[in-house]
A and B are shown apart, each in its own frame.
Chain A
Amino acid sequence: MSVAENQAAAGRGSVRAVAVLSSLGRFLVIAVTTYLGLLAVTFFIGRVIPIDPVLAVLGDRAPIAVVERTRREMGLDLPWIEQFYLYVKSALSGDFGTSVLTTNPVMTDIRRVFPATIELATLGTITGAVIGVPLGVLAAVKRGSLIDQIARIVGLIGYSVPIFWLGLLGLVLFYAKLQWIAFPARLDVVYEYTFTPITGFYLLDAAIQGQWDVFYDAWRHIVLPAALLGYLSLAYISRMTRSFMLNELAQEYIVAARAKGLSETRIIWGHALRNAAVPMVTVIALSYANLLEGSVLTETVFSWPGIGLYITNSLQNADMNAVLGGTIAIGSVFIAINLFSDLLYRLLDPRTKTG
């Protein structure tokens, strides 16, 4: 923790600073152990499970000299603990080895493909939150009504449906039959050469450069996969929102607000929802993390060149460096979102401060 943060915390004095400090300390310990745990598991998968890790990386057709060199480069002649130390060191510096398939360093590949996944997952989460939160609120307010039943069924199906199958059916209907959307890819081939991405988020890039034809094309490609991920996140967010809102609506301050003569709209959207906001931020963050993971199957169906497709392509070619690098990349972001939403919850909700 920096000196400035320390001073800022001390300046506020009293119990609160101690609580914040201890929760930050706890947070750091948890973050470090969880990340080490992730690396331990990927180390185990990459080095312990395969009978010969060199073979797993190079394949069985590599010349003997290359095999020997790689064995030394990977440090396989060292003791376990030292190997793990070196593994952690190189992982922390962003070195996950070289991909056999693309011949690039895995980190370079990941940097290239990650924005596509982020773009998809972000759009999905926004869709899920924008529809899911109001749906959950309405379901809680009109408990047992038609809209509650509909929300329940929509949620249950979202929890039960294989997303890749829904994606395939979506392609049959919206691409083949109705022709509302474009074929599975990120952009039409025409634009592949005329369009230069800046941030890697194509919708944003196209808008910045004012290339509205590219924007429209990118939109036609992203709309169905984003809608599917949005549906998954909607199922989760609406269910949790309903549960939080039922909790809030049973509180006494709602009765007080009614007695004061506030309108129902104001009570529900202004008071109850506002109090449920903190846990809901956590839920939305968690659903975002889940979508990053859910993108593996969705990207495969829609040939979306993100990290999910990168991992599955590497799997098919037994490219273990790339698979494990991708796993660590998704895992790190997943863990970070998990931990930060937990921290945010502790810092924002006054009830957890003195607890």
Chain B
Amino acid sequence: MSVATIQSRRAWLLSDRPASRLQARLGRAYVAWRRFSANRLALIGLLIIIALLVVAALADVLAPYSPTIGDLKNARLLAPSAAHWFGTDDLGRDIYSRIVYGSRWTLYVVILVAIIAAPIGLLVGTIAGYAGGWTDTILMRITDIFLAFPKLVLALAFVAALGPGIENAVLAIAVTSWPPYARIARAETLTVRNSDYIKAVQLMGASPFRIVLRHIMPLCISSLIIRVTLDMAGIILTAAGLGFLGLGAQPPLPEWGAMIASGRRFILDQWWVAAAPGAAILIVSLGFNLLGDGLRDALDPRSGDQ
């Protein structure tokens, strides 16, 4: 591709007068990407998350051993070596393979929590913001009450009642993590509620339901995505904490938190059993935090680098 065509493409993307909706959208995305990719730490975060997705997708290819069936006779608690990169655990299972498969459960948890909690928050926030009055007061009071609760302890109590398991852990985390999204969605709704385009849609006879769904919710999405990305690390840590306490994923699932718990018994002599899954949690959480920070700076320049 010649320099001239690249430059004309840039000009097309950065045009002040986009000829189509697609051009405007691509242009905006381009500007955001330029701002995002100037941030080295954010790029590292993005790379970590892409790596996580690739590892989860290709787990069958990447893992040399079974994640659940070990060699009890010959391979119990082996130190890291060429055959077993991160060593083996007390049931003779290859820790590297278990971590590779564990990435799927980490993704499972964060994606499920996000698609349960974010829509709840979005719905509560936009309805409260658009309806105003008593509806707003009551919904926001409930949100504030949930916001004032200790999340991990409440999630613990929920799982205690529901019974241990990864689905119940997801449910407990989702129940405790929607309030910030409701706050954000409400704030966004309040800023656009009285704008001219909403008045125009109202004049055209759109129902409140349609206005909230089609004209207000889409505007809340970008700030919501930033917040969800920033929360991902917290979700992973809470899920791992529940797994560590034996309330999340149950054996033999290769969930990272539960793997640390099983390594705890051998921590003083065979430290690698617990060390590797913890490092995996740290790296992935770090990736989400870096990505979230970068997205916030790129999509929401107002917040600066504070």
Please list the residues of chain A having a beta carbon within 8 angstroms of any beta carbon in chain B. 30, 33-34, 37-38, 41-42, 45-46, 49-50, 56, 156-157, 159-162, 164-166, 168-169, 171-172, 176, 243, 246-247, 289, 292-294, 296-297, 300-301, 311-312, 315-316, 318, 320, 323-324, 326-327, 330-331, 334-335, 338-339
Residue numbers in A under 8 Å from B144 (CB-CB): 30, 34
B12 at the interface (CB under 8 A from A): no
Known: A160-B282, A162-B237, A162-B257. A176 touches B268 (CB 8 A): yes
Residue numbers in A under 8 Å from B160 (CB-CB): 45, 315, 318, 320, 323
Nearest-neighbour CB distance to chain B for A78, whole angstroms, equals 20
Residue numbers in B under 8 Å from A338 (CB-CB): 148
CB atoms of A157 and B150 under 8 A apart: no
Question: What are the nearest 6 A-B pairs in CB distance?
Answer: A165-B278, A37-B145, A160-B285, A49-B161, A293-B150, A160-B286
* Contact residues, B136-191 vs A (CB, 8 A): 141-142, 144-146, 148-154, 156-158, 160-162
B233 at the interface (CB under 8 A from A): yes
B271 at the interface (CB under 8 A from A): yes
CB atoms of B149 and A156 under 8 A apart: no
CB atoms of B267 and A45 under 8 A apart: no
Q: 8 A–B contact pairs at CB < 8 A?
A: A159-B233, A172-B271, A296-B241, A297-B245, A331-B153, A334-B148, A334-B150, A334-B153
Complex Cα spacing A165 to B243, Å: 12
CB atoms of B154 and A165 under 8 A apart: no
Complex Cα spacing A247 to B304, Å: 11
Residue numbers in A under 8 Å from B290 (CB-CB): 156
Known: A159-B289, A169-B275. A335 touches B148 (CB 8 A): yes
CB atoms of B274 and A334 under 8 A apart: no
CB atoms of B289 and A156 under 8 A apart: yes
Residue numbers in B under 8 Å from A326 (CB-CB): 153
Nearest-neighbour CB distance to chain B for A23, whole angstroms, equals 15
B215 at the interface (CB under 8 A from A): no
Looking at the complex, which one of A156, A157, A159, A315 makes contact with B156 (CB distance below 8 Å)?
A315
Complex Cα spacing A49 to B160, Å: 10
Residue numbers in A under 8 Å from B148 (CB-CB): 34, 37, 334-335, 338-339
Please list the residues of chain B having a beta carbon within 8 angstroms of any beta carbon in chain A. 141-142, 144-146, 148-154, 156-158, 160-162, 233, 237, 240-241, 244-247, 257, 260, 263-264, 267-268, 271, 274-275, 277-278, 281-282, 285-286, 288-290, 306
Complex Cα spacing A301 to B267, Å: 11
Complex Cα spacing A327 to B150, Å: 9
CB atoms of B161 and A297 under 8 A apart: no
Residue numbers in B under 8 Å from A320 (CB-CB): 160-161
Complex Cα spacing A35 to B206, Å: 40
Nearest-neighbour CB distance to chain A for B173, whole angstroms, equals 14
CB atoms of A289 and B244 under 8 A apart: no
CB atoms of B152 and A293 under 8 A apart: yes
Residue numbers in B under 8 Å from A160 (CB-CB): 233, 237, 282, 285-286, 288-289
Nearest-neighbour CB distance to chain B for A170, whole angstroms, equals 10
Q: Considering the complex, give the chain B residue whose CB is closest to the CB of A171.
A: B267
Complex Cα spacing A159 to B289, Å: 8
Residue numbers in A under 8 Å from B277 (CB-CB): 165
CB atoms of A162 and B281 under 8 A apart: yes
Known: A162-B237, A162-B241. A316 touches B153 (CB 8 A): no
Complex Cα spacing A323 to B163, Å: 13
Known: A161-B285, A338-B148. A327 touches B157 (CB 8 A): yes
CB atoms of B153 and A330 under 8 A apart: yes
CB atoms of A323 and B286 under 8 A apart: no
Complex Cα spacing A335 to B151, Å: 12
Q: Considering the complex, give the chain B residue whose CB is closest to the CB of A149.
A: B41
Complex Cα spacing A342 to B247, Å: 34
Complex Cα spacing A293 to B244, Å: 16
Looking at the complex, which one of A162, A169, A300, A324 makes contact with B157 (CB distance below 8 Å)?
A324
Residue numbers in B under 8 Å from A324 (CB-CB): 157
CB atoms of B274 and A165 under 8 A apart: yes
CB atoms of A41 and B149 under 8 A apart: yes
CB atoms of B157 and A157 under 8 A apart: no
Complex Cα spacing A162 to B289, Å: 14
Residue numbers in B under 8 Å from A294 (CB-CB): 152
CB atoms of B149 and A331 under 8 A apart: yes
CB atoms of B278 and A331 under 8 A apart: no
CB atoms of B306 and A247 under 8 A apart: yes
Residue numbers in B under 8 Å from A159 (CB-CB): 233, 285, 289
Looking at the complex, which one of A30, A292, A312 makes contact with B150 (CB distance below 8 Å)?
A292
Nearest-neighbour CB distance to chain B for A306, whole angstroms, equals 13
Looking at the complex, which one of A165, A172, A247, A316 makes contact with B260 (CB distance below 8 Å)?
A165
CB atoms of A296 and B153 under 8 A apart: yes
